Amino acid sequence: MRVVNAFPPIYAEILAAFPEAAHRKPIFAWGDVIYNPHGIEVTHELHVHEQVHGDRQGVNPEAWWRRYIADPGFRLMEELLAHAAEYRAWCSSANITRNQRRLVLRSLAQRCASPLYGSLISVNDAKIAIAEPGKPFKTRIVGSTSAA
């Protein structure tokens, strides 16, 4: 994926749905492009995260984004998949210690559970879903208990 220092298409719609994004420095996958409007460092691990989104968007990123905006269950599953891939990328480092893995997992779970994504899951359940994909976890989506 190539990185472009610009806002993504339909940014106004994304911001309307996720006003928290105005107070952070998010990056956005759109097909084979990572939009990086604030010019943050896109680490290998973040690249892996965004690659999951880009791959899952297929040939129609706009349709994916519209569903991501409208469907909290879809959004949560997409973020859990991407955060789990990011976590695996971190863990694949030969130099990462057990304590560092725990800190990374906690940080990723906090991000995934944050208002940026709609606070759809607790931090503890996000940790389970990220570290152990396939294990059941609880969500804050009415009537939903799931597995990534």
Q: Using CA atoms, how far apart are residues 146 and 25, in angstroms rounded to an integer?
A: 29
Q: pTM for this structure?
A: 0.89
The domain ranges of the chain are 1-70
What are 101's two structure tokens? Answer: 């893995």
Long-range CB contacts for residues 24-29, cutoff 8 Å, separation at least 24:
24/116, 26/116, 29/1, 29/53, 29/54, 29/57, 29/61
Strand order of the sheet with strand 28-30? Answer: 2-4, 33-35, 28-30
Query: Rounded distance, CA 23 to CA 19, Å?
Result: 8
Q: Tokens for 109, please give them.
A: 């779970």
Query: Torsions phi, psi of 94, nearest 5?
Result: -65, -25
pLDDT tens, per residue, the chain with 148 residues:
999 999 999 999 999 999 999 999 999 999 999 999 999 999 999 999 999 999 999 999 999 999 999 999 999 999 999 999 999 999 998 788 999 999 999 999 999 999 999 999 999 999 999 998 776 666 666 445 455 5
